[in-house]
A and B are shown apart, each in its own frame.
Chain A
Amino acid sequence: MCKKRALLFLTLMFVFYAGLSILSLYAAISPQEVLKKADEARGKEEGVEWEVAIESIEKGRRQERTLKVSSRNFNSLAEYLTPASMKGQKLLMLDRNMWFVKPGLSKPVPISPRQKLLGRAANGDIATTNYAEDYKIDGTSEDTVNKEDCYVFDLKAVDKKATYDRIKYWVSKDRLVGLKAEFYTVSGKMFKTALFEYRNNISIEGRPREFISKMVIIDAVLKEDFTILHYRKVSIKKIPDSIFNLNLLLR
């Protein structure tokens, strides 16, 4: 009888400590690691190819663009597929350096990160996301988005070269994906909000992972203005350096 009690006690202790270990393991994920995991679901990989369909409504006017994007770490090459009048135009982003290449136009034109892609979408929005490296965590709190528990990170740009000065970023506690972001100007004024969906699935090191499928950007002032980015035909693959090389870009 004593032996049985002792065995039960030991089993309960094992379950208790195992549970504690799991909890402490989860709790051990640092805010920076949470941010890195969230970046993974938005393309921070050794290479990703996707098609981005952008739909913008501004002051009642509707515009559409489709781009094929090859992206790896801080580099991206985007090629316009539609509309026909923009077909073949390319946007090459090498870290913070950006060039615009137009068929027939002889020279690639260097452009600044501030130049917008379409509607409220910045050029950086079609590329992979590097919040973990471009921003430092200035504060954390908790909140819910669509009844989903989230960590809320106050992100501050590491330097003035990041696309946005400050971002408030909601990351799902359960899924470790970003669900919502608010973008702020240097003066502290919010100028747009983004909502993210993850209906694409990829495999990272053999493990299935949710991957971004939609980003909705809503203007902070003109609420009826919004831009939707649909990410589709996602393909994770190793993309060589030569893809992001101006010398090898066919115009």
Chain B
Amino acid sequence: MTAFLITALWPGAGTADEDMCNTLICKMQTKDFSIDFRSLTYGIVQKYSDSTQNPSNDFLQIPRYVAALELRPDLRLNKDILDLSVKPRMRVYYRKWQEGSREGDSDWDSDWFINEWLARLKIRQNTFISYGRENLQWGPSFLFSPSNPFFQDNGRRNPYLEVPGMDFGRVVYVPHSSWTISLIANTGEGLNKATGPGRFLSSYPPAPFEKTYSLKIDYTGRESYSTAILSRKEDSGNILGFFGGWTVSDALLLYSEGSFTQGSQALYPVTDNSTLRASMQKLYQYSSSINPAILMGGSYTLETRGTLTIEYAYYGQGLNNTEADSYYSLRRKAAQAFISDGPLSALGQKVLGQMTNTGLRLLRKNYGLFQYTQSNIKDVFDCTIRWTQNLDDGSGQFTSVLVYYLGKHLELFSVGSIMAGGKNTEFGSMLDYQWMAGLKYTF
């Protein structure tokens, strides 16, 4: 039975030609129905940063080693007026701790879940209505996506980890080849919540969920595109997002992405008379002030095929120097309280929890990104190297994504990150390094 399955699913294991439709998965496909099936096996080695955010790894309890097997089938039924798709996921993983309160501990676990699904009906030739769990991403930027009111994570840091889907209802109207109007309702948090499979390898929970309604208008011209997104969050203010790009020449692209947010749900450090002499509070919850987040970027493709990308981002909601000093001062006090054996420990834990996710997409105001990407080197190798710099506190993150193709179905991949900066900096607070390596097989 096992031999049959291997031969049926794994064309290289049989004697048949790889290019012929001789696998079970290939034979199951019809004109209307398709399956893409991928499996990933990978290991992760990471080292926590012994900062006041995670003293001795007792707070975040980051495992030193992770090994996982993931099966990722994507199923799709495409009829003339109806599209159905579902992405069930199975993950089996092993974790081992070497530092912190779980030192020497290890565990096995598994997750079975549906990361995304969609039912879409074409009600007219140019009008579509859909509901489902989606990873709704847009915009040209790498560093972060300020125009997207739904997702903090744009999935660019590690392309081998999927962003957990959220629940959306959408109406998309295409009145003209250049124009699209979308009404989007984010009705549920889906897997993007504090617990569950969506949090795998994530050290901290997402911001609290708020129902959000958006009107998105897209325009595509001959060598440019632009989009405006007006959003209303149920428990907070309005957000006007935008992005646009311009194909300046055969090799040069320029783009911008941003948002203007009314008020803020984020937590900021405030000096007060509480036990720690400071606390995290929603300072601007009812403020009518407008906070801009503006990203500008460009990419240039060299004759040698490599592409250089550079981005600068200003994040208005981020902490200024005075607020950052208060933030790290409070974090130090919270860490001391957390490691104390007394009743203060619970308070320290609560404050550290707030500080891991303040609701801010970036901690400070000014950021830069530099990236080099080249695909198909010697026909078998893809390479991306990226440097992200916090221009306010001097910390940085180096990321490399390397892919080596071992034949038509198998790829060997490596995603590595090394952080630079002191313990009281944004990138130096969580991890010293993380290295993920594995094999991806596409059936």
Contact = CB atoms under 8 A, between A and B. Distances in A.
A245 B249 contact: no
A106 B155 contact: yes
A87 B442 contact: yes
Contact of B408 (A74, A75, A84, A163): A84
Nearest to A118: B376
Interface string B277-313: 0000000000000000000000111010101000000
B36 A88 contact: yes
Contact of A107 (B83, B138, B182): B138
Contacts of B443: 84
Contact of A112 (B118, B224, B307): B307
Contacts of A162: 250
A101 B247 CA distance: 18
Given A95-B223, A112-B247, A247-B180, A84 B155 contact: no
Contacts, number: 143
A247 B156 contact: no
A251 B174 CA distance: 19
Interface residues of B, number: 68
Interface string B144-164: 010000000111100110110
A114 interface: yes
A241 B176 contact: yes
A104 interface: yes
A85 B409 contact: yes
A201 interface: no
Interface string B201-226: 00000000000000010101111110
Nearest to A63: B379
A103 interface: yes
A241 B409 contact: no
A107 B307 contact: no
Interface string B106-150: 000000000000101010011010000001011110000100000
Contact of B379 (A61, A74, A241): A61
B408 A85 contact: yes
B163 A106 contact: yes
Interface-centre pick from B85, B253, B411 (highest chain A CB count, 10 A): B253
A115 B216 CA distance: 29
Contacts of B220: 94-95, 97
A29 interface: no
Interface in B33-75: 36, 38, 72, 74
Given A112-B250, A113-B247, A107 B137 contact: yes
Contacts of A82: 19, 408
Interface string A98-113: 1000111111111111
Interface of B: 18-19, 36, 38, 72, 74, 76, 83, 85, 118, 120, 122, 125-126, 128, 135, 137-140, 145, 153-156, 159-160, 162-163, 172, 174, 176-177, 180, 182, 216, 218, 220-225, 245, 247, 249-253, 255, 299-301, 303, 305, 307, 376, 378-379, 405, 408-411, 440, 442-443
Interface of A: 58, 61, 63, 74-75, 82-85, 87-88, 94-98, 102-116, 118, 160-163, 240-242, 244-248, 250-251
